[in-house]
């Protein structure tokens, strides 16, 4: 065997090792951002707490005497519809939903199945009660919500 094939094999091997090391170094440098969940993975109780708490009000800029915008000390809730009532998030093993109470009754604002689940049936209202059924490999989970005293209350979890 001549020198030329051996040098080609050694060169190819050195190039492969160098490319692999550069790739691993880049992945290490980027870290979790390349394939991780932004903000990390959330536990079920953290999601429930986040859905149950109201969203922070936006800071609305106002003009000072010179005409330059400055942040307002008290945000204005002008983006909230006049008919909007109390809003609350609910979680089941099959998925999550947000329900709002208004003059016409309960209204399903949004819903999202958990991983491995799909939505079988939705009654979004507005009505006396709203419901969503999540179906997956682990079974069926039904969420019914009605308004009591103007606030959303779960009628049945399953």
Give me the residue spans of the domains in the chain: 1-37, 84-157
Query: CA-to-CA distance for 27 and 64, rounded, in angstroms?
Result: 48
Tens-digit pLDDT profile for the chain (158 aa)?
688 889 888 999 999 988 888 887 777 766 655 555 555 566 777 777 777 666 554 444 444 444 444 443 333 333 334 345 789 999 999 999 999 999 999 999 999 999 999 999 999 889 999 999 999 988 999 999 999 999 999 975 54
Q: How far is CA 104 from CA 24, 79, 82, 126, 148, in A?
A: 58, 20, 13, 6, 13
Token pair, residue 142, equals: 């039904």
- Smallest Cα–Cα separation from 94: which of 123, 129, 131? 131
Q: For residues 61 and 59, what is the distance between their CA atoms, to the nearest angstrom?
A: 6
Could you identify the residue written with the tokens 């986040």? Answer: 50
């Amino acid at each position: 065997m001549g020198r030329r094939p051996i040098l080609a094999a050694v060169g190819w091997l050195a190039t492969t090792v160098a490319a692999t090391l550069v790739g691993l170094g880049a992945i290490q440098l980027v870290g979790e951002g390349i394939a991780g969940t932004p903000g990390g993975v959330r536990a079920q109780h953290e999601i429930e707490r986040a859905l149950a708490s109201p969203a922070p009000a936006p800071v609305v800029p106002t003009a000072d005497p010179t005409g330059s915008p400055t942040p307002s000390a008290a945000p204005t809730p002008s983006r909230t519809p006049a008919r909007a009532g109390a809003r609350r998030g609910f979680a089941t093993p099959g998925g999550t939903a947000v329900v709002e109470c208004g003059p016409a009754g309960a209204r399903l604002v949004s819903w999202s199945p958990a991983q491995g689940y799909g939505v079988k049936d939705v009654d979004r209202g507005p009505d006396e009660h709203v419901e969503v059924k999540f179906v997956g490999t682990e079974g069926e989970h039904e969420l019914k919500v009605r308004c009591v005293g103007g606030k959303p209350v779960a009628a049945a979890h399953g």
